[in-house]
Structure 1
Amino acid sequence: MPHPVTGLSLTSLFVKNDYSLDSISELGDLLQTGMQAIMVDLYWNEFTSVWQLCPAPFPQNVTYNSNDKVNVTWNNVMYTCEYGFTTDNIMSIIQSYLESSNTNFEANFLHLLFNLKSIHYEKSNLTMSLENIYKPNSLSNIMGNSTLNATVTPIASYIFSPNVLNDYRSKVSLSSSSYESYYNRSDIIMPTLETVLLSQYKRILVNVLSNDVVSSPREYSISDADRNLIFFNTTLPTSVKSATEAGPYCKEVLTPSNKSEKYDNLSLTTNFDYVIDSNSNRFDRNSVQDFLRCGLLPIFNATSYPVDNKNVSDVGDIFSSFAPYLFWSWRAGQPSVSNGSSTNNSSRDRDENIKASYRCVVITSNGWKIDDCYQEYQIACRNKSAPNDWYIPYSNTKTYFDVDRNDCPNGYNFSLPRSSTEMLSLMSAIKEQDAQYPIWIDLNDITISNCFVSGGPYAQCPYQKTVTTTRFVRMIAPASVICIIVFGLVILEKLLRKNHIQSNRKRYWKKTLAEYYSKNDYEGVPS
């Protein structure tokens, strides 16, 4: 099952049909704040045979300045379009973000989604006048790309493409870990997110959500070069639901069930399920988290959203208000720790101690949260070969530090859900086994603050190494011993050295100088 992400339709940025570079000025900031999907409507212009962002064709000779904004009309709708505003501007923003965040710690995975549409006309004697207006002439400067693969070429090195996927499938080993082997039972084998980001070094997937290009002699034909770089529904199954359709679906998925096959079917179904809202049925903060938790990928497409009894239309403010709810795992406002802001020294010390112990993670009825590692709770044990099979030892409550491998029955280990479906199956098991929230899961940031890892309290952060006191002593001990020995030898050499030649030389010159001054007795200062 794909990793749930949240995204934005660029159409919501083109307020009042203003298609210009100014309209997407916030796109870079939105990527920095965690938005991971961008949906773009691309229009195939049958007059110029290029892909463009403006939904209307430009009349010939309307302008020769790429920075000009012009009013254009198509199908009785008026648009204000910047002549030189193309997909290259969008790719530049995405490329800049990918380059700035291309580190092990910051790298995330993006979705670039295309809806293909047409600026279409029926060619006949009655439409000859249209061609005279919109067909470019020898002076025209055609703006746009003539192929889909050329449209995404600026970010091609970062793209997780069908070719990359096929190469992975040809090399994948079915004898890998039991966790991966389970998911390799799927009809469509996909690499893990870790493999994509940190082994294949890919950051973005380009997926065509819909292809509404009108069939005509001037339509765009998808080429092999396009299929090698971009996913279509034939190469990677994709579905799109409206917010109205997604509600009942999620309600069914989120209802706990003691039938493990329900979650197995969800886990082994490899397709991308997007949910797109509208002004008539908009996301709210609770519904968007429910959609993420049931495996859907929400795309914000409305022009305003209800936030604290107000309608908010600014995209930055919308994402800021929704940000705490854009995780399938963490509950809203988590992870968080005490800020230790007390002014009193004893209070500050006490707060720091509390902060130091709040480094472990529990699952609650509405998501993960930070808790005190020294609290005693039940623990979540997962079947090593079946990720949706969980067992919670009934009477075995432990602090996080005291959890031992023997606390789980044979075939199970202390673990955590690694997908939204695994989390749903765990929450279902908690209810079925009459366990009590909160429950420890194997996640903490003990070694490095804000670097959450699994593997127990001594698991190392993969992005930043730590050196314990014991390890530091072991590292410097050999060098320290050698330095002490050398220093001791130097001291001994200074104290015990007897150099007869040097001693005789000093006595000789003292005697010679004394004899000289006795024979040459000066009065006053010699000239």
Structure 2
Amino acid sequence: MADNYDPDSPLLGALWRVVELSERDVSAQIPINFVTHPSVSLSAACFGNGIYEDQAATKCIANLLTVGYRRLIVDLYWSPERQQWTFCPVAVPLNVVGASTQETTPVSSASPAVLSAGEISDVITTAEGSAQSSTTGPSPTSTSEISGEKERRQAGGPTTTSPDAVQGAVMASGPSRSPVYKLGPYSCTQSLDVVTMINILVEYFQETEDTVRAHIIYLDLNLHAAASAETPDQPAPSLSGAQLPPESMLIGSLMDASLSTYIYSPPQLLRDRSNLNHSWYSVLEKDMPIAEYFITEEDSNGYYSTPDGWPCENYVQEVKAKRLLLGWGSVDPQIEGYNFTSDSDVIFPQHYLRSNIDIKADPDESLQSGCLFKPGVTDVAGVNSSWAVSSGIPVPTGANLTDSLMRLSSLVRNLTACGISPTLNDTLFGKTADSDVGLYRNVSLSSTWSWAFGEPRNSSSQATDSNDDRCAIMDVTRSGHWRAAACAEERHAACRVGNSPYKWVLTSNKVSYLAAQNECPEDTEFSVPRTGLENMYLYNYLLSQPKDMINPSDDDTDKREVWLNFNSLDVESCWVTGGPNVTCPYAISSDTQRRTVIVPTIAAIVILIITALTLFVKCNANRRNSRRKKRVIEGWEYEGVPS
């Protein structure tokens, strides 16, 4: 199973890692159903060229995870003949096994055309409206014999392959030498199946099992029946009885066998919901979900429960040590006899982890319909953004790649700002993510809702002892995105009303960042937006204020900025909320000449040691504790996520 998770490297620079960490940490207490993440269809991003080959698929999935896609839409096809879940829509027939193979032109991925860091920067900057792009198009790709065959079919060539033709059309697939079979519109190996993806996820979780890189992953599982190789262009036959997957081959069984350590399951959610006193309310405050986001009920004994609440990421990852949620997507009629009941302890029902939002965009990529921001409506129930995911992103087309990327980037930003997770279900400009991950990275990075492009400044430089550019402001002129500013400057500060997600006021006076915490009106608190939708509400509130109310100085009315409760005063590049005296939750280098964030540790170390010992005694063998170790990557030394 070695090297299943083997992405192209490097894919993210130091600045983007700081941005990603900032957003994860600032939303760490928001219930997971209200946190947006970019979503991608593997069928489009990895198999849009009709080629289902092991090495390309492995690289593609690893790349997508690495560049920030947290929700994967997975289409799986059941082959009753092989008793196998495959990614290929057509089942490789059994009679090709052992057949003489003809080795011809190797199946090759398109030659890499990854956009450089500068090109990505230009695209995103222009989409934000602060610079002109100088992006050049990707380099031409080489075309394999299979790709050429696909083009001939699209031009009206033959589209079916008999079993005999399958046996005689085997081609070597590169270093892995896995045979690839031409099955009508598709070219598939018999070894690429759901276990391939499971192995990638296991290694991904192991590789990123630390307090800096750990994220929750969501899988939307769509079930299909594989078409017959004799009629690959025809709908798959309906399955019943022994043709359906047996108990051992149910998706939940396969996932649970290798990933049970990481899965947050439906029964766990129900247990947590039924007694909040013993679950979400029994942990450290930093691990509690924000209660204003869900309904709570109290019984006569003082016990709280919730009919609709979800835990926050801190609770799922740091308390429960879980990182994976599985949910059913679409199910084809041919396989609707699948035994969903047996999988109910592992996989959430349909529509439980996803609420599709139909969108319509204007020519400038702003949302004409679908945006969840509702002026004047500030209660969570009225906004109803739980598990909001776009049903798809209309990818702009045109001869100019730069212009298309700019428009796509703008649309993704607008979706995220509206509280909607953008879903990419198209193959970007004919390229899959194993051959041109840069295109997909551009979409993922465009889903950033917090920092403006190029911010926070100096995040990868050596730190100083001054307060220059160590405190965050919202800049109205940057569409409500954030910038780093000198903490001693005076501005109004953003104050949250109660703990309401969407209600804001400003301090009556301009103050320095250090004084802002004591200047908010009664029943309000100096705060920072925790999601893209919260950010949108504050941004629109500022737009409604007179310019002279929010400009930082009387002689510069073009600037419209307010303080946010977010700073890196303790350690540069480590952005925290809670005021100027809050310490970075990650340890500092022993090198006194440099103060950089390099050892992610846990703030409450004593509590965690006690917790770890308690879990050890109770569980006798905690799998994740056994793997806990220090690692060093790109100068960042860290420890594993606590179990």
Q: Is the TM-score greater than 0.5?
A: yes
CA contact under 8 A between 1:380 and 1:441: conserved in structure 2? Answer: yes
Q: Which amino acid aligns with 2:252?
A: N
Partner of 1:14: 47
**Matched AA of 1:206:** L
Return the offset for 1:231.
1.4
Q: Determine which of 161, 170, 195 is the counterpart of 1:88.
A: 195
Say yes or no: does 1:451 pair with 2:485: no
Cα distance in 1 between the residues matched to 2:274 and 2:331: 29
TM-score by length of 1: 0.71
Per-residue CA distance 1:405-443 (angstroms, 9 max, x = gap): 2x1111111011112222222123222343433111101
Q: 1 CA distance for matches of 2:215 and 2:412?
A: 20
Report if the CA contact (8 A) 1:401-1:457 is conserved.
yes
The match for 1:404 is 517
Gaps of 5+ in 2: 1-32, 100-175, 229-233, 297-306, 398-403, 551-559, 593-643
**AA of the residue aligned to 1:298:** P
The reply on whether 1:160 has 2:264 as its aligned counterpart is yes
Equivalent residue for 1:301? 425
* 1:214, distance to aligned residue in structure 2 (A): 1.8
**The 10-residue stretch of structure 1 (170-179 or 444-453) with the greater mean CA deviation from structure 2:** 170-179
CA distance in 2 between partners of 1:26 and 1:146 (Å)? 25
Letter in 2 for 1:270: S
Cα contact 2:471–2:567 (8 A) shared by 1: yes
Q: 1:426 to 1:237 in 2, by over 3 A?
A: same
Structure 1 residue corresponding to 2:584, chosen from 461, 468, 472: 461
Distance in 1, Cα, partners of 2:440 & 2:561 = 29
Which deviates more from structure 2 when the two are superposed, residues 47-56 or residues 363-372?
47-56
Matched, 1:273 2:389: yes
Give the C-alpha shift of residue 255 in structure 1: 6.0
Secondary structure at the aligned position of 1:16 is classed as coil
Offset, 1:379: 0.1
Choose which of 146, 150, 155 in structure 1 pairs with 2:249.
Answer: 146
Go from structure 1 to structure 2 and tell me whether the alpha carbon gap of 1:425 and 1:299 turns closer, same or farther (over 3 Å shift): same
Cα contact 2:366–2:414 (8 A) shared by 1: no
Equivalent position of 2:485 in the other structure: 371
Displacement, 1:466? Answer: 9.1
Shift of 1:462: 1.9
3-state SS of 2:514 partner: helix
Q: Distance in 2 between matches of 1:29 and 1:448?
A: 30
Q: Check the 8 A contact 1:116/1:211 in 2, yes or no.
A: yes
Asked whether the 8 Å contact 1:444–1:457 carries over to 2, the reply is: yes
Q: Which of 544, 548, 561 does residue 438 from structure 1 map onto?
A: 561
CA separation in 2, counterparts of 1:157 and 1:221?
A: 25
Structure 1 residue aligned with 2:410: 286
- Show the counterpart of 2:71: 37
Indicate the SS of the match to 2:316: helix
**Cα distance between partner residues in 1 of 2:273 and 2:289:** 17
Displacement after TM superposition at 1:312 (Å): 10
Measured in 2, the distance between the counterparts of 1:31 and 1:333 equals 23
1:250 positional shift: 6.7
Mark the CA change 1:237 to 1:249 in structure 2 (over 3 Å): closer, same or farther: farther
Per-residue deviation at 1:264? 5.0
Q: Secondary structure at the match of 1:464?
A: strand
1:286-339 residue CA offsets vs partner (Å, 9 max, x unmatched): 111111121222232222259xxx999944111343454221222233323277
Q: CA deviation at 1:254?
A: 6.6
Q: Would the aligned equivalents of 2:422 and 2:447 in 1 still touch at CA under 8 Å? A: no
- Give the corresponding residue for 2:116: none
Residue 449 of structure 1 deviates from its aligned partner by 2.2
Please state whether the residue corresponding to 1:461 is helix, strand or coil.
coil
Distance 2:534 2:460 in 1: 32
Matched, 1:23 2:33: no
Q: 1:425 to 1:15 in 2, by over 3 A?
A: closer
- Work out the CA distance in 1 between the residues paired with 2:499 and 2:464: 40
Assess if the C-alpha contact under 8 Å between 1:337 and 1:370 holds in 2. no
Q: Distance in 1 between matches of 2:487 and 2:389?
A: 37
Q: Report which stretch shifted further, 330-339 or 23-32.
A: 330-339
Deviation at 1:19, TM superposition (A): 0.5
Residue aligning to 2:153: none
Query: CA 1:452/1:111 → structure 2, altered by over 3 Å: closer, same or farther?
Result: same
Q: SS of the residue aligned with 2:484?
A: strand
Q: How many residues align?
A: 429
Q: Summarize deviations over 1:238-263 as a string: whole Å, max 9, x none.
A: 233466489786756376723424x6
Root-mean-square deviation (Å): 3.8
Separation (CA, whole Å) in 2 of partners of 1:311 and 1:54: 16
Asked whether the equivalents of residues 202 and 259 of structure 2 are also in contact (C-alpha less than 8 Å), the reply is yes
The aligned residue for residue 181 of structure 2 is 71
**Counterpart of 1:163 in 2: which secondary structure?**
helix
Supply the distance in 2 between the matched residues of 1:275 and 1:336 (Cα, whole angstroms): 35
Partner of 1:253: 371
Deviation of 1:143 (Å): 13
CA contact (8 A) 1:415 1:442 kept: yes
Q: Is the 8 A contact 1:52 1:145 kept in 2?
A: no
Aligned mates of 1:254, 1:335 — CA distance in 2: 27
Given candidates 112, 115, 118, the residue that maps to 2:219 is 112
The match for 1:189 among 306, 309, 312 is 309
Partner Cα distance (1:51, 1:421) in 2:
38
Instruction: Say whether the 8 Å CA contact 1:360–1:443 is kept in structure 2.
Output: yes
Mapping for residues 500-515 of structure 1, pairs under 5 Å: none
Partner of 2:472: 361
- For the pair shown, the structure with the greater C-alpha radius of gyration is 1
Look up the equivalent residue of 2:250 and give its one-letter code: T
The structure with the greater share of residues assigned to helix is 1
* 416-425 vs 238-247, greater mean Cα deviation: 238-247
Structure 2 CA distance for aligned equivalents of residues 171 and 326 of structure 1? 35
Q: Deviations over 1:100-143 (max 9, x none)?
A: 1111222111111212122368xxxxx9xx99xxx99xxxxx99
Q: Percent identity?
A: 22
Query: What amino acid sits opposite 2:251 in the alignment?
Result: L
The 2-side partners of 1:175 and 1:250 are apart by: 40
Does the 8 Å contact 2:460/2:573 carry over to 1? no
Aligned AA (2:47) = F
In 1, the alpha carbon distance for the partners of 2:514 and 2:387 equals 39
Q: Does the alignment pair 1:381 with 2:495?
A: yes
- Does the aligned pair in 2 maintain the 1:120–1:214 contact within 8 Å? no
- Residue 92 of structure 1 aligns to a residue in which SS? helix
State how far apart, in whole Å, the 1-side matches of 2:390 and 2:324 are. Answer: 16
Q: Which has the higher contact order (CA 8 A, sep 6+)?
A: 2
Query: What is the CA-CA distance between 1:277 and the residue it aligns to?
Result: 3.0
